[in-house]
Amino acid sequence: MTEQFEFTTDKNQEDHETVSDSGDTSVFDAKTRDEAQQIIARYPEPRSALLPMLHLVQSVQGHVSAAGIQFCAEQLALSTAEVSAVATFYTMYKRKPCGQHLVSVCTNTLCAALGGDAIYRKLSDHLGVGHDETAGTPGEEGSITLEHAECLAACDLAPVLQVNYEYYDNQTPEQALELVKALQRGEKPAPTRGPALSDFRGAERQLAGFFDDLESTVAGPSAAVETLRGAQLANERGWTAPSMPDDVELPPVPEKK
């Protein structure tokens, strides 16, 4: 007789527990179901609504659970395998409960060279967690999920980090530490750019396309002086990009074989 053994690392065990939890979609109330239908109505094909619907699920549960996958599958007439393929591909979809705040530290090349790695180490040491781990009880006030982030598209303001996808530019390890300590105290320091800081679930609701207070959401600064400096200089000096001729000959389309 052959014995079978199952070997798992701690992380694999966590993932196994996450994806095998209850698929009971009753956790999503009538309001959420109505909002799911509103999302679907934005698109000519229901399956196109999957990305924002996964954000809606996270706004309710703080992560994408098995129940969330089942809910999206039912609403969109997809298989759970199709939904899972998307939920496990994109890093913005969390497979285990996230903290009240998600702190994303850019550690790509330029940010890393200018201090991003030092910022990440400082926060990791203070919180006692590593990548994609949470300090405190997920979802409760002051809980923080820390993660490495690839390029956050703000190299002119490096090093940068985000809290719930809002920018904090030109950071130092000391500034980043004070920011995280303030979050742990229940404070919400204003981002460098963007709206007033929400929590992770609130940010996910906005990513799903629901803005409960649109006026205040768009009231914050949207661009930094550094970002606009090139356009300002070009305007002052009369620089323009050459226009494209009307009669540009396009390359031939390769013949299909």
Residues annotated in a binding site for [2Fe-2S] cluster:
106, 111, 151, 155
CA distance 190 to 179: 10
The binding site consists of: 106, 111, 151, 155
Q: Give just the sign of the alpha carbon dihedral 193, 195, 199, 203.
A: negative
For the chain, the distance separating the N- and C-terminal CA atoms, rounded to the nearest angstrom, is 54
Q: In the β-sheet with 166-168, what is the strand arrangement from edge to edge? A: 133-135, 144-149, 101-106, 161-163, 166-168
Distances (CA, A) of 111 to 107, 129, 149, 224: 6, 21, 10, 17
